[in-house]
């Protein structure tokens, strides 16, 4: 037994340190910051080498147990992991598809809702249920989705009696398949709310509700979006898994990640801090290129959100970037100042020292919608491989840098059927759509449409609880 368990601190430095269990339920810190571990746990080289003989679930156990404490026994953690990955339709959970001598696509879409969000959300729903059932408690979960998180959360929690779940999505701005995955789940504990606004508007409503401490306490609310630490934690696993499955020793590797809220790619950065030998992380953005601009100019300036063919990354406010800025600077007063500036003026500037530090780990490229289209058509024609528009953002961005690396891995964040209309139009075929998706499209839907108003959402929650 360890007695020095990891504690979690807020990036803004004015919240109490939390234990693992509390950090799972807390979401946003009371000071407005995001929780991160006080220090990064490390693997030895020997431990990392041992991953090549381990299953995905075993690697998940090794990674996640570095972050937990005595509120969760090894046995319970193993059970939760097994339960969480049993509904994936591939025995490798996140299989690697080798598309050329040195290029791989990491398929993260084999969970129940066909996008990578299942990897974390299946685990979190079971983990929360474990803690709640043990203490005979219930909670109300609140989250915003750009399409995929909400579906993964709703499907994760649909049979979990200890929780009610409220999910906001931007009305008419997500794909039919994405919406139907959420609105066709008709258990009593699921509430879908469509907001007349953008994903950033939805996320702002959530942030405002959570900043009202009294309301949050009174209605026992917990957040589920990508600011929740456990999401990031689960995503670290597949970086280690990937390198355990390819001969990467002594080779330069680049991972390219289609990025919106900066959660998935931050997990790669944390894998590096824990001892992984990743050389570069490529932030692939679509025409909502705030992070690409930040790396090239040092100026982080919000623009209007542009609707593209890869809607799950149509984001300007990239919440988890705060965690990176904190880790690079370890300066919470800098974070407070920077985030205040972003809130009041829509912009902040980073010193070149900070930008250069970031560039030791990250590069970035912004992919146009034409490039997305060409990439999808090209892979279909040359390799008979159908990819979704987000994965195409990744593949196109990887092409900008891969020649400088021995191995290039692109994270495939969604199954193409999740964006079936877009993909079908490009490749003039529908053979990639599984029967399960067609079935979901035929089911009845249930959702409430609301104005872009925090008060309206609060009222609805009060009415339902
Ligand atoms: C959520 C999502 C992303 C972006 O992930 P972040 O962690 O927000 O950067 C990319 N692709 C798809 C399909 C997604 O659902």
- 179 Cβ below 6 A of ligand 1: no
- 117 Cβ below 6 A of ligand 1: yes
DSSP code of residue 332? H
Strand partners, 223: 142
What sections of 12-170 are H helices per DSSP?
A: 20-26, 45-50, 56-65, 74-85, 117-134, 148-157
- 312 Cβ below 6 A of ligand 1: yes
d(CA 445, CA 182) in angstroms, rounded, equals 8
Q: How far is the CA of 235 from the centre of ligand 1 (A)?
A: 12
**Percent residues over pLDDT 70 in the chain:** 99
| Backbone torsions φ then ψ of 450, nearest 5 degrees | -125, 155
Buried/exposed code over 71-92 (b: 16+ C-beta within 10 A; e: otherwise)? ebeeeebeebbebbbeebeeee
| Backbone torsions φ then ψ of 29, nearest 5 degrees | -70, 150
Annotated domain spans of the chain: 96-111+230-434
Alpha-carbon radius of gyration of the chain: 21
Please state the rounded mean pLDDT for residues 377-403: 98
- 231 Cβ below 6 A of ligand 1: no
- 411 Cβ below 6 A of ligand 1: no
Task: With cut-offs at 50, 70 and 90, classify the pLDDT of residue 3.
Answer: low
pTM for this prediction: 0.94
Q: What is the pLDDT of residues 196-243, one digit of tens each?
A: 999 889 989 998 998 898 999 999 998 886 688 999 999 999 999 999
Both tokens of 441, joined, read: 């499209």
Q: How far is the CA of 26 from the centre of ligand 1 (A)?
A: 22
Q: Whose CA is nearest to atom 1 of ligand 1?
A: 312
Q: Would the pLDDT of 417 be above 70?
A: yes
Q: How far is the CA of 390 from the centre of ligand 1 (A)?
A: 8
DSSP code of residue 225? S
d(CA 52, CA 243) in angstroms, rounded, equals 8
Q: Would the pLDDT of 192 be above 60?
A: yes
**Percent residues over pLDDT 90 in the chain:** 89
d(CA 27, CA 34) in angstroms, rounded, equals 8
Both ends of the chain: CA-CA distance in Å?
A: 40
Architecture of domain 96-111+230-434: 3-Layer(aba) Sandwich (3.40)
Q: Would the pLDDT of 4 be above 80?
A: no
Residue 368 DSSP SS3: coil
Both tokens of 63, joined, read: 């990674």
Q: Which ligand 1 atom is at minimum distance from the Cα of 259?
A: 9
Catalytically active residues, by annotation = 117
Q: How far is the CA of 260 from the centre of ligand 1 (A)?
A: 6
Beta 221-223 vs 190-196: how paired, if at all? unpaired
- 177 Cβ below 6 A of ligand 1: no
Q: Which residues contact 39 (CB under 8 A, 6 or more apart)?
A: 6
d(CA 16, CA 247) in angstroms, rounded, equals 43
Q: Whose CA is nearest to atom 11 of ligand 1?
A: 413
Q: How far is the CA of 276 from the centre of ligand 1 (A)?
A: 22
The rounded mean pLDDT for the chain is 95
Closest by Cα among 147, 150, 148, 154 to 125: 154
Closest by Cα among 135, 258, 150 to 195: 150
pLDDT of residue 1: 43
Q: Is residue 291 left, alpha or beta, with left meaning phi > 0 and alpha meaning psi from -120 to 50?
A: alpha
Both tokens of 370, joined, read: 């034409």
- 390 Cβ below 6 A of ligand 1: yes
The CA-CA-CA angle for residues 37, 39, 41, to 5°, reads: 95
Closest by Cα among 388, 430, 400 to 108: 388
Which residue out of 34, 106, 118, 148 has the highest number of ligand 1 atoms within 8 Å of its CB and is therefore the one to mutate?
Answer: 148
Q: How far is the CA of 3 from the centre of ligand 1 (A)?
A: 36
Which residue out of 265, 413, 416, 419 has the highest number of ligand 1 atoms within 8 Å of its CB and is therefore the one to mutate?
Answer: 413
Helical pair 352-359 and 290-297, crossing angle rounded to 10 deg: 120
d(CA 348, CA 149) in angstroms, rounded, equals 28
d(CA 77, CA 119) in angstroms, rounded, equals 15
Where is average pLDDT lowest: 74-83, 169-178, 369-378? 169-178
DSSP code of residue 161? T
d(CA 344, CA 244) in angstroms, rounded, equals 45
Which residue out of 260, 270, 310 has the highest number of ligand 1 atoms within 8 Å of its CB and is therefore the one to mutate?
Answer: 260
- 268 Cβ below 6 A of ligand 1: no
- 288 Cβ below 6 A of ligand 1: no
Q: Would the pLDDT of 34 be above 90?
A: yes
Q: How far is the CA of 116 from the centre of ligand 1 (A)?
A: 8
Scan for tokens 């759509």, then name that residue: 433
What sections of 158-302 are H helices per DSSP?
A: 176-183, 199-211, 213-218, 229-245, 263-273, 290-297
- 259 Cβ below 6 A of ligand 1: yes
Q: Would the pLDDT of 258 be above 60?
A: yes
Q: Residue 330 burial by CB count (10 A; 0-12/13-18/19+): exposed, middle or buried?
A: exposed
pLDDT of residue 428: 97
């Amino acid at each position: 037994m360890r007695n020095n368990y990891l504690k979690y601190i807020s990036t803004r430095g004015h919240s109490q340190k939390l234990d693992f269990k509390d950090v799972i339920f807390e979401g946003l810190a009371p000071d407005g910051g995001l929780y991160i571990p006080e220090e990064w746990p490390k693997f030895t080289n020997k431990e990392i080498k041992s991953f090549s003989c381990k299953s995905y679930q075993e690697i998940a156990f090794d990674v996640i147990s570095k972050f937990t404490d005595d509120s969760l026994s090894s046995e319970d953690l193993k059970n939760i992991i097994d339960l969480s990955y049993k509904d994936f339709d591939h025995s490798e959970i996140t299989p690697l598809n080798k598309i050329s001598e040195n290029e791989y696509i990491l398929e993260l879409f084999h969970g129940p809702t066909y996008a990578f969000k299942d990897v974390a959300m299946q685990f979190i729903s079971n983990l929360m249920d474990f803690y709640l059932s043990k203490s005979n408690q219930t909670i109300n979960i609140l989250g915003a989705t750009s399409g995929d998180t909400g579906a993964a959360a709703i499907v994760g929690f649909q049979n979990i009696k200890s929780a009610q779940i409220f999910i906001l999505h931007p009305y008419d701005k997500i794909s039919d398949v994405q919406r139907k995955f959420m609105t066709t789940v008709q258990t009593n504990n699921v509430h879908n709310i469509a907001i007349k606004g953008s994903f950033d508007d939805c996320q702002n409503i959530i942030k405002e509700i959570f900043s009202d401490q009294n309301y949050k306490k009174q209605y026992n609310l917990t957040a589920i979006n990508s600011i929740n630490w456990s999401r990031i934690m689960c995503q670290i696993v597949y970086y280690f898994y990937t390198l355990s499955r390819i001969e990467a020793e002594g080779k330069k590797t680049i991972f390219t990640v289609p990025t919106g809220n900066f959660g998935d790619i931050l997990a790669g950065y944390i894998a590096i801090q824990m001892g992984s030998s990743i050389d570069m992380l490529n932030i692939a953005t679509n025409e909502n290129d705030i992070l690409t601009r930040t790396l090239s100019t040092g100026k982080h300036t919000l623009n209007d959100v542009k609707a593209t063919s890869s809607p799950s990354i149509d984001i300007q406010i990239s919440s988890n970037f705060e965690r990176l800025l904190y880790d690079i600077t370890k300066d919470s007063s800098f974070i407070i100042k920077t985030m205040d500036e972003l809130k009041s003026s829509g912009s902040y500037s980073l010193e070149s020292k900070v930008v250069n530090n970031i560039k030791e780990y990250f590069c970035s490229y912004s992919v146009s919608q034409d490039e997305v289209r060409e990439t999808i058509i090209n892979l279909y024609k040359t390799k008979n491989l159908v990819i979704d528009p987000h994965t195409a953002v990744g593949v196109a961005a990887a092409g900008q840098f891969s020649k400088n690396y021995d191995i290039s891995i692109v994270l495939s964040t969604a199954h193409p059927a999740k964006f079936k209309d877009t993909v079908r139009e490009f490749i003039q075929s529908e053979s990639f759509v599984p029967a399960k998706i067609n079935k979901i499209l035929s089911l009845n839907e249930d959702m409430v449409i609301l104005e872009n108003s925090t008060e309206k959402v609060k009222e609805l929650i009060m009415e339902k609880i």
